[in-house]
């Protein structure tokens, strides 16, 4: 099945409007290679694809060229496709195997004979170690697993229905009950399948959750193989321990990540680099504490306090096992699904370009998330049970005039309803939130 990815539009815009090189980053298996390849083909672009893992000889060519003619002569020995100046796009995949290429691209862009696309995994880790970035020569996009709106394309939900739902979200008007129930059911499917393209396509073909489970296990094995490539032996183990403990932390009522749960007496400073490795590799999403729910939130960020989520909610439910997936689909309320819902909402918000925080105080309580939305502070609560109208921390935040809250969202298993400043939204509608603030978009698009 061919999946349409939102980032393909950004690739098209780059090709049409920019002469810079393009870099697509993201975790393993999110579909970077496929979306680049299919977008270029749909646009009718002539391109060559060089995979630095499958064709290691290309690394020597990229290291040694002193002119564009030398580069083309070298590449012509490893591809059967013609390489034509002014026409051919040169696509270098798995570029993390020669990360210096991100720096060398400046010379090639300046020369101007070809267009260049780079992609790879672990680039968030590798690029932070580069001595110099090619300022003014590279546009970088972060790619994520499919969000819920992208996932829905494997169903029979039409564009007209999605437009109707989007307008309901914008206008804060209730959704036809049958439609709302259908979408809530599809969101349950999304919780068990997630957004990894291979898992989504296999599910669309067979509806076999055992296949999904096996795909997720294979991806997790690849992640753990990456962890072992860390240069320090003690940190290899620490990265694995952090990743493996995330699902258990999300089952707690207070989902803040407790470092001492890894090892008694452990301090954050000892493991900070391991957390950053996982974040930069794109396999986890940290949500940092904001010491005050005021904008700009970044000023109030405290990185030693955070909640940690997996970058794909389907992989989280696979770690919990088939029994958890079955309970989700049957809407078994005995399942502790609060952390699952939170993980899904965190993924949606990050995918849409938000910088996401949480807030907690003994006096006011804890807000699951706080973001900057349309220039204002937006507190967000995520509820998995029937008591979704009970939210003392949210109410306390709204009542405090210092925080100047105009609206708050509660995402739950419900229909749209507005009571005062609180808007109750069905959990799937997080996919309609868009970050309009230009500073937020820096997290998604980085110009070098």
Q: Could you give the CA distance from residue 269 to residue 257 in angstroms, rounded to a whole number? A: 14
Strand partners, 138: 21
pLDDT at 313 over 90: yes
Whether 171 and 50 map to the same domain: the answer is no
- Of the residues 124, 143, 162, the one at which a domain ends: 143
The pLDDT assigned to 129 comes to 52
Summarised one tens digit per residue, pLDDT across range 352-388 is 999 999 999 888 899 999 999 999 999 999 998 888 9
According to DSSP, the β-strands at 21-26 and 408-412 are unpaired
Tokens found for residue 294: 């005021």
Summarised one tens digit per residue, pLDDT across range 32-48 is 999 999 999 999 999 99
Residue from 52, 214, 211, 140 nearest 442 by CA:
140
pLDDT at 287 over 90: yes
Tokens found for residue 215: 């795909």
The pLDDT assigned to 191 comes to 97
Whether 137 and 159 map to the same domain: the answer is no
Q: Could you give the CA distance from residue 240 to residue 226 in angstroms, rounded to a whole number? A: 10
Whether 293 and 152 map to the same domain: the answer is yes
Residue from 14, 48, 8, 56 nearest 32 by CA:
8
- Of the residues 143, 162, 196, the one at which a domain ends: 143
Question: For the whole model, what pTM was predicted?
Answer: 0.91
* pLDDT tier at 444, thresholds 50, 70, 90: very low
Residue 80: inside a domain: yes
DSSP for 178-223, please give it. HHHHHHHHHHHHHHHH-S-HHHHHHHHHH--HHHHHHHHHHHHHHH
Summarised one tens digit per residue, pLDDT across range 149-200 is 999 999 999 999 999 999 999 999 999 999 999 999 999 999 999 999 999 9
pLDDT at 318 over 70: yes
Summarised one tens digit per residue, pLDDT across range 69-82 is 999 999 999 999 99
- Of the residues 83, 114, 143, the one at which a domain ends: 143
According to DSSP, the β-strands at 408-412 and 376-382 are parallel
Domain span at residue 114 reads 7-143
Q: Give the chain's domain count.
A: 2
Q: Are 165 and 175 in contact (CB under 8 A)?
A: yes
Average pLDDT over the chain reads 91
Instruction: Please list the alpha-helical segments (H only) found in 194-337.
Output: 197-206, 209-227, 233-249, 268-280, 313-320, 322-329
């Amino acid at each position: 099945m061919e999946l349409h990815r939102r980032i393909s539009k950004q690739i098209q815009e780059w090709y049409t409007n920019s002469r810079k090189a393009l870099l697509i980053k993201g975790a393993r298996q999110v579909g970077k290679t496929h979306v680049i390849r299919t977008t270029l083909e749909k646009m009718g672009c002539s391109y060559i694809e060089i995979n630095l893992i499958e064709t290691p000889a290309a690394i020597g060519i990229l290291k040694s060229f002193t002119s564009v003619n030398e580069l083309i002569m070298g590449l012509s020995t490893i591809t059967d496709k013609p390489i034509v100046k002014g026409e051919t796009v040169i696509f270098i995949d798995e570029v993390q195997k020669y990360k210096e290429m991100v720096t060398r691209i400046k010379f090639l862009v300046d020369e101007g004979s070809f267009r260049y696309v780079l992609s790879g995994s672990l680039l968030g880790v590798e690029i932070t170690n580069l001595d110099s970035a090619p300022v003014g020569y590279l546009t970088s996009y972060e790619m994520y697993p499919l969000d819920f709106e992208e996932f829905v394309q494997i169903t029979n939900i039409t564009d007209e229905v999605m437009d109707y739902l989007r307008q309901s979200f914008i206008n804060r008007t209730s959704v036809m009950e049958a439609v709302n129930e259908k979408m809530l059911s599809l969101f349950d499917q999304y919780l068990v399948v997630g957004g990894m393209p291979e898992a989504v396509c296999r599910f669309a073909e067979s509806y076999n959750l055992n296949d999904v489970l096996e795909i997720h296990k294979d991806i997790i094995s690849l992640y753990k193989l990456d962890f072992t490539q860390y240069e320090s032996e003690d940190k290899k183990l620490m990265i694995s321990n952090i990743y493996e403990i995330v699902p258990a932390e999300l089952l707690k009522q207070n989902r803040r990540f407790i470092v001492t749960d890894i090892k008694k007496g452990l301090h954050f400073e000892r493991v900070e680099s391991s957390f950053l490795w996982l974040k930069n590799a794109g396999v986890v999403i940290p949500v940092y504490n904001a010491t005050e729910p005021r904008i700009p939130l970044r000023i109030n960020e405290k990185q030693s306090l955070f909640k940690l989520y997996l970058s794909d909610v389907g992989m989280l439910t696979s770690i919990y096992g088939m029994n958890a997936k079955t309970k989700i689909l049957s809407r078994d309320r005995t399942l502790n699904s609060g952390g699952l819902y939170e993980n899904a909402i965190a993924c949606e918000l990050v995918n849409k370009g938000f910088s996401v925080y949480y807030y907690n105080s003994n006096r006011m309580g804890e807000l699951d998330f706080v973001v900057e939305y349309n220039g204002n502070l937006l507190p967000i609560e995520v509820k998995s049970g029937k008591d979704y109208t009970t939210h003392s921390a949210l109410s306390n935040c709204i009542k405090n005039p210092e925080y100047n809250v105009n609206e708050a969202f509660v995402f739950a298993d419900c229909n749209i309803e507005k009571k005062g400043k609180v808007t109750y939204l069905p959990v799937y509608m997080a996919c309609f939130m868009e970050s309009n603030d230009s500073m937020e978009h820096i997290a998604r698009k980085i110009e070098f």
